[in-house]
Each structure stands twice: as structure tokens, then as C-alpha cells.
Amino acid sequence: MSFVERGLIVRRDDSASVTYTDIARLAGVSTATVSRVLAGSASVSRDRQERVHLAAEQLGYRPNRAARALRRNKSDTIGLVVSDIEYPPIARLARVIESEAALQGLGLMICNTDESLTRQSFYIDLLLQERVAGVIAMPATDDPQQIRSLLDSDIPTVTVDRIVPDHNVDCVLIDNAAATHALVADLLGHQRRRFLGIFGTQDATPSRERLEAVQEQLSTRSGVTLSVRTLSLGSTIGIAQATRRITSIVQESFGSSAYNPDAIICSNAMTVEIVMKTLFERSIRVPDEVSVVGYDDMIGLDLFYSPVTVADQPFDRIGKRAVELLLSRMSGDADRSQRIIRIQPDMQFRDSCGGGHS
Amino acid sequence: MSFVERGLIVRRDDSASVTYTDIARLAGVSTATVSRVLAGSASVSRDRQERVHLAAEQLGYRPNRAARALRRNKSDTIGLVVSDIEYPPIARLARVIESEAALQGLGLMICNTDESLTRQSFYIDLLLQERVAGVIAMPATDDPQQIRSLLDSDIPTVTVDRIVPDHNVDCVLIDNAAATHALVADLLGHQRRRFLGIFGTQDATPSRERLEAVQEQLSTRSGVTLSVRTLSLGSTIGIAQATRRITSIVQESFGSSAYNPDAIICSNAMTVEIVMKTLFERSIRVPDEVSVVGYDDMIGLDLFYSPVTVADQPFDRIGKRAVELLLSRMSGDADRSQRIIRIQPDMQFRDSCGGGHS
DNA sequence: CTGAAAGCGCTTACAG
DNA sequence: CTGAAAGCGCTTACAG
């Protein structure tokens, strides 16, 4: 072990670990050769290759990722920046990305922003300090300024779900217009005429595209009305308050002098959940009195008292594509234009729309 | 910037970053002093402290975590080893741990094992390569041999949910006996007499403790029967096959010549979901014909066609305690005996048990 | 309180 | 194909 010959000035406080020096000595080669063999890079004679591999194994060599990262100014870790890992579709995204990253020997660092721009900046800074090899992000907003330091770095970045207008970031997201059209068509097919749309922040791609699509689709219909409520950025109000907000939107929408929608479009699965709960508590029957549809599937949604029709975002496929794009950027082709990949939604027609898919 | 004076042998391929050398020069101090100031360690004159902080700010200094990790042989990252980040209670655990870690400036690396011992070993090795500052793990089994290299390292480790018999690992988990007693008591209160228990691998703490508790509690009751089915370790069969297994357990349990339970105890929320789905598809009414209870709450479970009674594991509190224990281990007191913290379950009595909590 | 200097474990341009 | 050597950006024991 090299510790026997290390200077005495600084002592390691943990059990000595095996280094290239140890392997080199045992294999009778230089550390440069050890590096070449273990990195599988430059060509080394077969004989030496074997000796190095054997020595490494005998000594139980374990690479030191920090040393490698320092030398190469790039770690073998990628960062995942998301709003909320607890949101089931995002958990699925994380799972897929983690699994693909592991295949490349890359670690995955999770960064949960709660859609707070402050936390988002904090995490981007942390990832820059870490010199991560790449970042997959679902930024709180589409604003490039909010992730400026990441864009200005040379760290390959791919966004998911949200298009940041910058040539340096690819994006993978579903076809929100197609998803919306399918949902609205199903509602119209069930003779729904009074729509209530509950959408998220218009500072991010999905809710903006979805709202636009609904408005466009309904604008040509006569006798059909649309009432829209948008929520502000998650961070600015917090989850508890968002829940209260949605609950009150639903409550205010029903009653003798209210809008009384016969269809509610919810921009995500949490909204679906809150809406369904509020309707249940107020004994407003789904789908008899009102249809409910949403975006994003979630485990159990098909077992609700009225199974909910949704346009699922297939985050397993989205995650895989995102990793593909990221790896491609990581392996060099950095100076090209922005790639935007659209994935088709996975429609789940269930009873909440009116039963018997139209 | 220091790049102007760096040797020419190796060129940085990215934009030059600010280092201690730059700060030291601008502040007119040594790099040692810069380190002392920015690490907030040894005492430095107020005057120099200010100059260093000012210089760091002016230059837009960003620490290099790899360099620090290499020098200290320990990174500012902790590892989280879990079976499946997509399982909602675990997603919550990850969220809490991530949030607590961020408060300490620690990154969180996610390791998803799918309960595969191979993947578990792979990830432990990765975390060792990373020289993580600590690990919180939900190991696939209680067997210390499976995480031997982690235990043999000097990396502080805390387990969650599963007790690994080794003095070097603290553990935080719920009081499985109390949870079980509460569930069984509720079932008995609703005159249930024919129990079917579907438990997970007996190689891990929770299912073992729960099964023991059920058996013990029912053994003193006359006229009450218990049929037990246990599933093997997740990895050995995979999720799809586990689903099929549970589905067929339920299907085989009902029919003229079958056991026909009037109460099903499910060892986790995924089992609850599969059982509820199978019963729904077979039109077996809950709770009229059979009660269903489980462990772990999950969003939406209260909106099921029959809201499900569960003993929730409060993973937010569990996660916080785990981080506390880990930080305490990380700050030194490593050579003490194993600490085991029991958290009380959070009972959610709902209709699936028979309505109107007994 | 402070600085000069060594060294953490790798990678790689250079010179054979 | 191979090795000697420099250097990545920090931290810290040592000597003032």
C-alpha cells in the first residue's frame, strides 16, 4: 500500500486505499500504463494489460472518483433537477434516468426545487460545484435567465417537459396539443358543454400549451363555454395553499349562482386528486354531474370511485430519450441547434368522462 | 485567472474557473488563509477575512467539490440506497432526506436497487468510489454480508425500515407490532374471522415483524383462522411477476372450494393496489364481502372505490430522524452501539375495513 | 494568526 | 507502446 511511503505530513484517517501506485508496483509498470489500461484508452501491450488487471483485482482496487473528477474537471455524475420527486410521474422519470445513468457508470444527484427559483439556483450552483457531466432538468419556468449559470457553463443540459429557448438545451416533452385534443374530444363526445379548466403557471410550457389548445379547440364550437383558472408558480404559494386554492375553485364553481361546469380539465394529477376529493366530499357525482379529466397518470387513478380519464405523459420513454440526448451531447456534438423531441401522450380513457369511451 | 500562469502541458478545455490562487492574489494573502476563511475553520484576522470574502465574491468564486473531496478523502454527498424510488412512500423518504441534506450543503445520490442484490452491490461500490460522507439505506435484506463492504468502510450508515444486525448501523423504522395490532384489532372489531395475510420477503425486517405480530395476536383467538402467503425477494421475480403472483393469490382465495377470507392484510401499498384491483375486476365487494387493510399510505388511497384502511409509515419523520442519526455519526461518535429508533405508525382508518371505525 | 509547501489519486502531453 | 513528470484545486501539519 502506498501509505507506507507517503509523506508524514498528512495522514489518512481511514483505512488505506489501493492506488495506481500500488497496482503499478505489483504489475511492474508505470502509473501511466495503469491508467491507460483501466481507462481502456490508449493501446497497451496485451501482456501489460493482463498484469495490470490482475494486480488491480488482487489488491481489490476501487477507483477514486474525486481524483478522476479533479483531473478531468468533470465528474461521473449527472444531475436531475425537478420540482417534486414525490409527484409520481416525476418519481418514474427519476427511476428511469437513474437506471440509464447506472448503465453508463454514472451516479445521479437528485435536486428537488419545489418550483422555488431560489432552490433552483441553489441546486444549479451545487451541480456546477460538482462539475457534473450533464444535467437533466425540469425547470420551474421557461425563462433562460433562471438557469443562466447552467447555460453559460459547458455542461450538457437537456430539459424535460419545459422548453427553454436557448440553442444549448435540448428538450423532450409530450405533444400537449394532441393530448388536449384527445381529452376535449372525449368530453365533447359525452355532450359536455360547460368547461372549467384548472391550469398551472403560464410561465412554463405544459400549462401554456394546454390552455392554448383548449381555447383554440373550443373557440370554433358554439354553445360551448370555457372558464379558466390558472395557478401561479408552485413555489410562490406552496403545496398546502395550492390545495386550498384548487379546493375553493371547485367549491365556488358549484351552486345556484355559480358557473356549474359539466367538465373539469385538470392540468396535472395532483389537481385531479384534489378535485376528485372535493367533489366527493360535496357529493357532486362524477361523471353524472360533472366529468373530470387530467394530464399525467398515477397509480390508483383507475381505482378511484370514478376512474379518471387522463392523458398520461409516458415518462419512462421521455426519460430514456432525455438520457439519449444528454449522452449524445456529452460525447461531443455540443455546438448544434436545439433539438425538441415530442412524445405522443398515452391516453387512458376511463369512466370519469362519462363512461364508455366515445 | 490562474490559467494564465498554469503550465502549458495540460490545457483546460472549459472556461477557466476561479481558484484559491486567484482569490489569494487579489486579497493579498496565502491560499492557506483563503482556505481557512472560506472553510470557516481556524481563526483569521477580521481584516483578512473581509478581504478574502470580498475577493471571492468579486471573482465569482465557486468551490471545486472534487478537489475538496480528494484532499479530505470524503465528498460532500450522501447516498440513498432504496428498493424503488417510484414507490410513493419511498419517494417521500427521498424528498425529505434530500431536503435535509441540502440544508447541510450535501448533495444526494440516489441508488435504486429494485431489491436486486447485484444492483445493491453495484451501488454500494459506486458510493464507496465516491467516498460519500454517509449512507442512508433500505437494504434488500437484513443480511449484513450483503452490505459488507459498506459496513467495513468508515462511512457512517443508517438503515431505514430494516434492521441490519451490526453495531455500526443505526436504524429508524416503525413499530411494526403496534401497526399490526391496530389493523388486526380493527378487523376483529368488524367481526372478521378468516384472515388472509400477503407478506413480503421474510428476509427483511418489516414483513417478518408483521407476520409474527399477526400470528401472535390471532393465536389466542378461537374461531379465527389465518392463511399466510409470502412473496420472495422482489428482485428474484420482478415487479410484473409479483403482480401476477398477488393477483393469482387473490383469485385462488375465492370460490366454492377456496379459503374465502373475509379480511386481507397486505404488506405494502402496491399489494393493496393489486388486491383492490383484482377484487374490483372480480366484483368481490369491499368491505361487504371482504375487508382489505395494508401498510403504507399512498396518495389517492382515500378516494378508492372503497377507501383503504392502512397503517401509514410516516416517512417524513422517519427520514428526518435518519438524517439526524447520520449527521450525528458523521460528526464523530462512530464507535458506539447500534441505535434503533421506533416511530409510531400513523393509522388511517377508512371504509375498506367495514366502515365506521370500530 | 499566517504562509510555504506537501500531497490527496488520478490523467495526459511529451519524449522516447 | 511506454514512463517520468506535471498538475488538477483544495487542506493541513509545520514552523514561525
Q: Are strands B291-295 and B309-312 parallel, antiparallel or unpaired?
A: parallel
B267 CB-side CA count, 13 A: 27
Indicate if B163 and B250 belong to the same structural domain.
Answer: no
Q: What is the mean pLDDT of chain B?
A: 90
Indicate if A170 and A187 belong to the same structural domain.
Answer: no
Cα A230 from chain centre: 22
Indicate if B322 and B304 belong to the same structural domain.
Answer: no
A242 CB-side CA count, 13 A: 23
Q: Which of residues 101-120 of B touch A (CB under 8 A)?
A: 102, 105, 107-112, 119
Which pLDDT belongs to residue B15? 44
A38 touches strand C (CB under 7 A): yes
Which pLDDT belongs to residue A305? 96
Which pLDDT belongs to residue A242? 86
A17-67 confidence digits (pLDDT tens): 899 999 999 999 999 999 999 987 767 888 888 999 999 999 999 999 999
The answer to whether residue A120 is domain-embedded is yes
A272-287 confidence digits (pLDDT tens): 999 999 999 999 999 9
Indicate if A265 and A330 belong to the same structural domain.
Answer: no
Indicate if B210 and B284 belong to the same structural domain.
Answer: yes
Residues of B in contact with A276 (CB under 8 A): 303
Which pLDDT belongs to residue B84? 92
The CA distance from A91 to B86, in Å, is 5
Indicate if A185 and A213 belong to the same structural domain.
Answer: yes
CATH number for position A132: 3.40.50.2300
The answer to which of A247-251, A335-339, B30-34, B225-229 has the lowest mean pLDDT is A335-339
A149-201 confidence digits (pLDDT tens): 999 998 999 999 999 998 889 999 999 999 999 999 999 999 999 999 999 99
The CA distance from A220 to A124, in Å, is 44
B214-246 residues labelled b (16+ CB within 10 A) or e (exposed): beebbeeeeebebeeeebebbbeeeeeebbebb
Confidence of residue B16 (pLDDT cuts 50, 70, 90): low
Indicate if B104 and B195 belong to the same structural domain.
Answer: no
The CA distance from B91 to A90, in Å, is 10
Which residue, B350, B254, B246, is CA-closest to B293? B350
Which pLDDT belongs to residue B14? 35
Indicate if A192 and A309 belong to the same structural domain.
Answer: yes
Mean pLDDT of B335-344: 89
The CA distance from B95 to B319, in Å, is 9
Q: Is the pLDDT of residue B155 over 80?
A: yes
The answer to whether residue A27 is domain-embedded is yes
Q: Which of B84, B111, B304 lies nearest to residue A304, judging by beta carbons?
A: B304
Boundary (domain end) residue, out of B37, B63, B89: B63
Which pLDDT belongs to residue A14? 35
Provide the 10 A C-beta neighbour count for residue B180.
25
Indicate if B265 and B322 belong to the same structural domain.
Answer: no
Kindly list the distances between the CA atom of residue B254 and the CA atoms of A303, B248, B259, B262, in Å, as whole numbers in the listed order.
Answer: 20, 10, 6, 10
The answer to whether residue B358 is domain-embedded is no
Provide the 10 A C-beta neighbour count for residue A132.
28
For a pLDDT cut of 70, what percent of chain B falls above it? 92
Q: Which domain holds residue A185?
A: 176-313+346-353
The answer to whether residue A68 is domain-embedded is no
Residues of A in contact with B91 (CB under 8 A): 85-86, 88, 91
Interface check A356 vs B, CB under 8 A: no
Alpha-helical (H) ranges within chain B are 20-27, 31-39, 46-59, 65-72, 88-103, 117-129, 148-152, 176-189, 205-219, 234-237, 239-253, 269-281, 315-330
B239-292 confidence digits (pLDDT tens): 788 899 999 999 999 998 899 999 999 999 999 999 999 999 999 999 999 999
Confidence of residue A311 (pLDDT cuts 50, 70, 90): very high
Which pLDDT belongs to residue B47? 87
A224-263 residues labelled b (16+ CB within 10 A) or e (exposed): bebeebebebbbeeeeeebbebbbebbeebbeeeeeebbb
Inspect the interface and report whether the beta carbons of B95 and A102 lie closer than 8 Å: no
The answer to whether residue A141 is domain-embedded is yes
Which pLDDT belongs to residue A356? 54
Indicate if B306 and B337 belong to the same structural domain.
Answer: no
Which pLDDT belongs to residue A235? 57
**Nearest nucleotide (C1') to the CA of residue A42?**
D1
B20 touches strand D (CB under 7 A): yes
Kindly list the distances between the CA atom of residue B21 and the CA atoms of B25, B34, B184, in Å, as whole numbers in the listed order.
Answer: 6, 9, 66
As a whole number of Å, the end-to-end CA separation of chain B is 73
The CA distance from B104 to B110, in Å, is 17
The CA distance from B310 to A356, in Å, is 32
B127 in Cβ contact with A111 (< 8 Å): no
Q: What is the dihedral of CA A5, A7, A8, A10, to 10 degrees?
A: -120
Which residue, A65, A19, A293, is CA-closest to A183? A293
Boundary (domain end) residue, out of A25, A41, A63: A63
Indicate if B138 and B57 belong to the same structural domain.
Answer: no
Confidence of residue A355 (pLDDT cuts 50, 70, 90): low
Mean pLDDT of A83-109: 96
Task: Count up the domains in chain B and report the number.
Answer: 3
Of B43 and B128, the one with more pLDDT: B128
A202 CB-side CA count, 13 A: 7
Q: What is the mean pLDDT of chain A?
A: 90
Which residue, A87, A156, A95, A6, is CA-closest to B92? A87
C-alpha cell at A46: 496485451
Inspect the interface and report whether the beta carbons of B64 and A304 lie closer than 8 Å: no
Q: Is the pLDDT of residue B10 over 80?
A: no
Most B CBs within 10 Å: which of A83, A153, A278, A299, as the mutation test of the B interface?
A299
**A128 → chain B, closest CA residue:** B62
CB pairs under 8 A between A and B: 158
